[in-house]
Amino acid sequence: MTHQALHRVTVRMLFDPAFAASVYAGAEVPGLGTEELGWLRAVDPRAWSVDAVRPERALRGLFDEYKGSTTLVLHHTRSLARLRAFFQSEAFHREIQQRGSMAQAYREHLAGLGQGLPQLPDLLRLEHTLAVCRRERDTTPARLHDPPAGAWVARAPQVGAGQFEGHVLETLNAAEQLLFQIGLLPAMVLADDRPTLSLPPASPSEPLHLVIRPIDGEPRLVQLGRVVSQTLAELDRPQPLGRVHKRLSERLGEANAQRLIGDLSRGQLVVLG
């Protein structure tokens, strides 16, 4: 047993009263022995629920990364309780126990709550990509570790790209507009005629090829075209420069491939090594 294992179990008990009750009832907990479980059971059970708003404070941080998706799910379920049930979910307990990502577990929880919502999958994927880029502000992304020998190219930190359904930006903008209106007068949520979420139709449309790049230190969405978006999406790890140039030459011609790589480098969208 390590102190990290004990800490992970205490986090689970702080957020999930049912799990805490099971520990007091004698349930076995993987990674903890009899002595460690005795330490936990010696604590006054009321201590685990002293902070009554702990779940909401944790949800606030997760909401900041998945604002649009959370708004869409709440609009769909009309249930705060089902959102708070995240802390009783298998995904939450798994990620805490395995030292994984709470944000990833929350994404899974939202996906489960929003099953059948056609706008949700791409919105979740877009907000996840934004969250990943945001975290790369302070750490070197894993994709830049262990580059190949010789000249190589990779997507720059805080840069992301992907193809999304055409309605994804309209859905995100609709959620942000509603949140802005509510933020002006939070008490309006008590009114029967409060603003509501107006979603765009999830009908087939031209896909969006989006690029995320840092502007003033924050990841921002821009549309730079299909070729740029696809090229950046493929550079999720360092790749030999010659191989990338050859692939682009087959699509665009050699001169255009060389020009594109130069433009991406000057625009700080890729890293050359």
Indicate yes or no: pTM above 0.75.
Answer: yes
Taking residues 208-226, report their average pLDDT.
91
pLDDT, tens digit (0-9, with 9 covering 90-100), for 113-164: 999 999 999 999 999 999 999 988 888 887 777 788 888 999 999 999 999 9
All structural domains of the chain with their residue ranges: 3-131, 142-272
Write down the pLDDT at residue 148: 82
Multiple choice CATH, 142-272, 3.10.450, 3.30.870, 3.90.930, 3.30.70? 3.90.930
**HEC profile of the chain:** CCHHHHHHHHHHHHHCHHHHHHHHCCCCCCCCCHHHHHHHHCCCHHHHHCCCCHHHHHHHHHHHHCHHHHHHHHHHHCCHHHHHHHHHCHHHHHHHHCCCCHHHHHHHHHHHHCCCCCCHHHHHHHHHHHHHHHHCCCCCCHHHCCCCCCCEEEECCCCEEEEECCCHHHHHHHHHHHHHHHHHCHHHHHCCCCCCCCCCCCCCCCCEEEEEEEECCEEEEECCCHHHHHHHHHCCCCEEHHHHHHHHHHHHCHHHHHHHHHHHHHCCCEEEC
Residue 1 clears pLDDT 70, i.e. is over it:
no
pLDDT category, 192, cuts 50, 70, 90?
very high
